[in-house]
Chain A
Amino acid sequence: MRGRAGAVRPATGMAFAAVLYLLAPVFAGSPYVLFALTLTLCYAIPAVALNLLLGYTGLVSLGHMGFAGVGAYVTALLMKNAAVPFAPALAAGTLAAGVVGALVGIPCLRLRSHFFIIVTLAVGLVLFLLFNNLDWLTGGAAGLPGVPRPHPINLGFAVVDPRRPVGFYLVAATLFLLVFAVQYTLVHSDFGRSLAAIRQDETLAASRGVDVFAHKLAVFALSAALAGLGGGLLIDFLRAAAPQSFGFLEDINLVLIVIVGGAGSLFGPLLGALLFIALPETLRIADTYRMVLFGAALLALALSAPRGLSGLAAAAFRKLRPQASA
């Protein structure tokens, strides 16, 4: 497992950020590509959040888009009804999702693994049903349309206008890099190492003095908050909060993004989001035949790559390495 978490050096991180930002001028002329990329980043943020649980702590949460929905609806309500600007509204949405995450986590994290999985599924379904049925607050099945985009941001040397595709992409890229940095810092901290110990052997971790429950609760609340951040960004990008964006299928989709991309790898969530959001978006996969093929591909992947695509890539890389140095 050498280098699994330490594979990204600061220089690599800077290069990654530069590439992410440079995509904006490169695709400035093709708003459709920017649309697909921005949407990918909107989902990559909750995917990173889930990766903290699924990949680094070993907790499978099947209701994570529910927390994204809490962030989304709080952001949308504040911006639409209280005319709060984007940044504080998003911060409030993130905080709200974190609080809901903590409240859910306190009872649920005491459950054993399979109970925990099903209960997170139930939590996600309850949140979805609330979004869908609390008509007076959430607009019910029709959702909340007409969420305003952020105001232009004056950076001194340039003005970023999020009402234009390039501008919103830059906002999304910045937020993603922020969340990525949180993931990186967390994984490399003592806290992250304690999480890894919990994933590998909970009893042993506890006997070595790790407060298992406190660690799980902290990472669960953080993960829910980051998912809420992604949800808030998503609805502001789509300009509408709708319950379907946070339903059961979306919950499963998010889990797929993380697992197929490679749970427990830094870039896995982004890779998975590219595969599950950008690719179907650009190929316009809606055709029934193609969905059958897509299902078959998932099945084949589950049977052949137990650690997802990142695991597959890492294995291929290890195979190439000795030959290169020989």
Chain B
Amino acid sequence: MTALVEQIANGMMMGAIYVLVALGLVLIFGVMEVLNFAHGVIFMAGGYVCDVVFMHVLPSYPLAVVATVLALALVGVALERVVFRRLRANVPMQIVASLGLILIAENAAVLLFGPSALQLTVPSVRSLVRVGDLTFTVQHVVVIAACVVVIAALHLFLHRTRLGTALRATSQNAEAARVIGIDADRIYRLTFAIGCALAGLGGALIGPLFLIFPQMGDLPLLKGLTAIVLGGMGSIAGAIVGGFAIGIIEAVSTLFITTDYRDMVVFAMLIAVLLIRPWGLFGVRVRGDA
């Protein structure tokens, strides 16, 4: 029983990370119909930027995280401007461009920081929280709390502000949004900035718990993609449920089968869900869906 609760808590923590990745992916896909396969290296960049800022500029972890989020938002703006604006509706070339970005980023990380992983030690990893028989690092709590704050803030932004409403309008019908005077290019820029900022936040939060290395974003990207497909591709609530579900299921699965099969459980679950609901858990069934 203790083991189960412990794995659920670990799963919540990883799930929170997947949610941060999935939210960016689903926003970018929902608004621009772009599948950003380079999202994993943005996540990785978040880890490295946070490490550099914390070690060399600001010896305060919370401020380093904020700086990381801002830096990655700028990267997002640049990416949208230079790359993805021109590749809307061309999925094959989005894949080519993403792989180009992945190769550049992962190898640049090796050139700049060396091939071995960096260890980012912050106070919140060394201090522990005790709940009954279980102990967790404070960082576990920080990750989950940060994710909850992000979800709440995103919800308020999308539903209570003019800009957020404009973003939702653009995702529903870009042409109609232009007709009523919404600057769609500005919305696209904003979407990419938010998406990349959230991925960077994920990398900055997970960095101290695990290690920071060039491929650290690969699995979160795959799990994030799985989460948005589970959730129904375009549903923000779906991405959140999908992300947490994946985190918890993979953590709990390690109680029953070897960790070798942990990732397979996740991908097999995706296939199984789509067999029953081809439009995802929260997606809308459209004409032509089986």
A interface residues with partner B (beta carbon < 8 Å): 54, 60, 62, 107-108, 110-115, 117-119, 121-123, 125-126, 129-130, 132-133, 248, 252, 255-256, 259-260, 263, 288-289, 291-292, 294-303, 306
Contacts and interface: CB of A to CB of B under 8 A. Distances in A.
B42 to A, nearest CB: 15
Contact of A110 (B92, B96, B270, B278): B278
30 contacts: A54-B92, A107-B271, A107-B274, A112-B286, A112-B289, A113-B91, A114-B35, A114-B229, A114-B233, A118-B225, A118-B270, A119-B229, A121-B222, A123-B271, A129-B260, A132-B260, A133-B264, A252-B99, A255-B92, A256-B99, A292-B103, A292-B107, A294-B103, A295-B102, A297-B100, A298-B97, A298-B103, A299-B97, A300-B100, A302-B96
B235 interface: no
B233 A125 contact: no
B289 A295 contact: no
Interface of B: 29, 35, 83, 86-87, 90-97, 99-105, 107-108, 110-111, 218, 222, 225-226, 229, 233, 260-261, 263-264, 267-268, 270-271, 274-275, 278-280, 286, 288-290
Contact of A295 (B100, B218, B263, B286): B100
Nearest 3 CB-CB pairings of A with B: A295-B103, A298-B100, A299-B100
Contacts of A123: 267, 271
A200 B107 CA distance: 38
Contact of B278 (A115, A263, A298, A299): A115
A108 B274 CA distance: 8
Contacts of B261: 129, 133
Contact of A298 (B99, B279, B280): B99
Contacts of A108: 271, 274
A276 to B, nearest CB: 11
Contacts of A298: 96-97, 99-100, 103
Contacts of A295: 99-105, 107
A72 B104 CA distance: 31
A60 B97 contact: no
A117 B29 CA distance: 14
Contact of B271 (A126, A132, A252, A301): A126
B83 A299 contact: yes
A291 B115 CA distance: 14
A132 B264 CA distance: 11
A296 B104 contact: yes
A125 B274 CA distance: 16
A115 B100 contact: no
A67 to B, nearest CB: 15
A119 B83 contact: no
A302 to B, nearest CB: 4
A16 to B, nearest CB: 26
A303 B271 contact: no
A294 B35 CA distance: 22
A161 B286 CA distance: 57
